Structures are given as structure tokens and as C-alpha cells.
Amino acid sequence: MDKNLYCVIMAGGVGSRFWPVSRQSRPKQFLDILGTGRSFIQQTYDRFIKIVPHENIMIVTSANYKELVEEQLPDVLEKNILLEPFRRNTAPCITYASYKLAKMNPDAVMIVTPSDHYIANESLYLETISHAAEYAAKHDELFTMGIKPSRPETGYGYIQANKKELHNVQGHIAYGVKTFTEKPDEELAKVFYESGEFLWNSGIFIWNNRTILKEIDKWLPDVSALFKLGNDIYGTQEEQKFLDSIYEDCTNVSIDYGVMEKTSKAWVFEASFGWSDLGTWESLFQHSEKDENNNLVKVENHMMDKMYNSVIVNTEKDKLIAVKGLSDFMIVNTDDVLMICPRDEVRFKNMLTDLAVNDKNKYQ
């Protein structure tokens, strides 16, 4: 394995869109929502350990989740668990990892990935990333992975590709990057889908560490300046104290808007390895096997009649779930919450908002 290749797994999100199974105390990246026997973060680790030395895998997460990371990924070195005191989006997260990595290995090549993706064709996924990493090791280019959309999805971000500019990296085509757009409304998502210029934004990045540090310094100088202050502190016992002292002052910005949209060095692969970020019950519904009535059923003990196009999940093994005569509904039962809601993301989001309004924060 290439000892200069590192993988940074971002695992600090709260996973609210999988409520009530995912909670702030144990968000979705630490859950086995797919029923495979491994949580999302464990599956991510399992993938990358095939191409990255285990001592080169780094986890950036909330300080609140340190014990969960240690419990689920015991082979990750303690020094490689980076603890954010606040959530400040992906640019500060990646900047922290980059400055720390620069001290560890000046020749490092970095893969950055979220911790909660579903990948259908793992071999093609790793092949595409490996080829991009080999290229990035020798060139000052910044790569991201774009997914060819199969529908006008409102739950994903989009990357507009410049298909007149392209790189051929060992048979994998990468295009120039025009713009990044966060989750669009239904009308705009349809425009993106029909144009053929837009790809889903996977949030996966590949670059050599020197190049990303230069671009962060150029385009996010305030963020870069904060982390530069720690050049003599990373790897010492004072690192966490230093990080806690600067993080609140970091700009809350994504690496997409902060760097990738501004730099001339950004390229996006049009990938087709079967991807989903499985960020919602709806995305899980779309990618999971259903019964003969198109229901996603994750219940051991149930009685169902005239149920169609619905999600039914129960985490209490001994409880009988009996439902009848519903279509396009979500029914999710945990030990302290029973959620019954139409299978509609807008209504679900409103329900999450209502938790705070109705003083039910303890259930978040």
C-alpha cells in the first residue's frame, strides 16, 4: 500500500433526518440502519482499509462522539481521532486535518469522505478513487466525485460540470467545475436534471495535501491563518486545547463554496459506482428491497394488511407492530418515540422543527 495515501473520514453530523432512530447522542453514522451488522462509519472504514494503511486513516468528529469512534473503530490510532468542539462545516474540518497531516507527512495525498454513504459497486468506487489519488500525487489538481443523477433529487447538492474541459485519468473522465449548488427546490432540481450539465455532489475529495493547503490559504485566508498558529502544537498534548481556543472563530463554510468553486484547479469525475448518501428515510426507501406491496419493512414481529409504499421500522424486538390500510406513510418505533408521518420530506422536516417548538428537545 502507498504509505503517503491518507483517508480523512468526516463523522461529525447529527443525522437528524433519520430521527427518531438517529439521535444527537448516537447519530446515524454510528448506526446499522442497513442491517448489515456494521454501522455506516464501520462500513466506510472497511472500504478504505483495502487501499489505505490503517495507521493513515483519520476520523474528524465531534468531541461528543470520541467514545463512539473508539468503540466502533478500535484499530484507528488515538492520535488520528480529531475532535471538533463545534460544528463549523467542512472547510474548517478539512483545514484542521490538512495542517495536522502536513506535520505528519509533507508528501501526503488525502482522500476526504463522509462517513455515511451507500456504495453499490465497491470495486469501481475504489478503483476510481485510487486512480485519482495516483494522479493527484503528481499534479496540483483538486478532484471531487460527481454522480450522474437518475432523477431530479431535491435532497442532494449539485455540481455543474464544464464538459468542454476534461481530464482523462486512466480511463476515468473528469470535467472542469463551474458551480456548486446546495439542495435545490423541486423546480430547480428538474432544470438541473434535464440540462445534463449537473452531477450530484458526493462530498468526496482527492488531492495532495500541499495543493489543498495552498488553495485554502489563497481562498480562505482567515481560516488558514487560525490553523497556521498551531504548526508547532499539532501532535503535542496542547493540540486539543489549541483547537478549542480557535474553532469558534472559524468561518462556517463548506470546502465546496470556500475553495472548490473559486479555484481553477477543481475537477469533477462523473462517477457511476452506485452511490447514495442515504441521508433520509426516503433515500433509504429508494435504495432498499421492498415487499410485494412496495413497503420497506424492518420489523421482526408484525401484522400488516393493505399497506402500500410505506416505511415501517421497529427497534424494539419484542413489540408487535400491527398496521392496516395505510399508503405512503412512515412508521418508526423506538423505545421512547413512535413516529407516524406521511412519507413526505417536507412534513417530516416540519415534525423535527416542532420538537423544539413543543419543548421536546430531549427526544432529538
From residue 313, how far is each of 117, 326, 354, 355 by CA, in Å?
A: 20, 15, 21, 20
Q: In terms of Cα–Cα distance, which of 20, 110, 35 is closest to 287? A: 35
Q: Is the pLDDT of residue 356 over 80?
A: no
Count of positions (residues) in the chain: 364
Q: Does domain 5-281 have CATH number 3.90.550.10?
A: yes
What is the pLDDT, as a whole number, of residue 58? 98
Do 88 and 252 meet the contact criterion of CB atoms below 8 Å apart?
Answer: yes
Domain ranges of the chain: 5-281, 293-363
Q: Is the pLDDT of residue 107 over 90?
A: yes
Cell of 116: 455515511
Over residues 123-136, the pLDDT tens digits come to 989 988 998 999 99
Cβ-based neighbour number of residue 100 at 10 Å:
24
User: CA 339 to CA 363: how far, in whole Å?
Assistant: 12
The one-letter amino acid code at 158 reads Y
User: CA 100 to CA 270: how far, in whole Å?
Assistant: 30
Find the distance separating the first CA and the last CA of the chain, reported in whole Å. Answer: 42
What is the pLDDT averaged over residues 141-145?
Answer: 93
What is the pTM (predicted TM-score) of this model? 0.89
Q: In terms of Cα–Cα distance, which of 212, 4, 204, 205 is closest to 109? A: 4
Q: How confident is the model at residue 32 (pLDDT cuts 50, 70, 90)?
A: confident
